[in-house]
Amino acid sequence: MSDMERIEEVLESIRPAIQADGGDVEFIRYDEAVGLVQVRLKGACETCPISMMTLKEGIEVRLKRAVPGVMEVTAV
């Protein structure tokens, strides 16, 4: 399985919890050279005061665990 497929798989596993709160996460790109994953937070996540915690403590931690090359996740 490629890194891109693993990233998509992790996001799919997280998505139901985010959608339950009225939001969503969209995969934008993965820069393998620097280990940067870019996602777009959508819906309620766009204005949620804890969206950065969701991004860093939820999405980033899980992606780093599943894909060794991932160093950082940012929202665009």
CATH number, residue 48: 3.30.300.130
**Pick from 76, 72, 65: nearest CA to 9:** 65
pLDDT for 10: 97
- Residues 26 and 19: beta-carbon distance below 8 Å: no
Model pTM?
A: 0.92
pLDDT of residue 59: 94
Higher-scoring residue by pLDDT: 1, 22: 22
Can you give the residue range of the structural domain that contains 47? 3-75
CB 74 within 8 A of CB 36: yes
Per-residue pLDDT of 17-69, as tens digits, reads 999 989 999 999 999 999 999 999 999 888 888 888 888 989 999 999 999 99
CA distance 40 to 76: 5
Q: Which two tokens stand for residue 69?
A: 């090359």
Is the pLDDT at 8 greater than 90? The verdict is: yes
Torsion of CA 30, 21, 58, 49, to 10 degrees: 90
Q: How many domains does the chain have?
A: 1
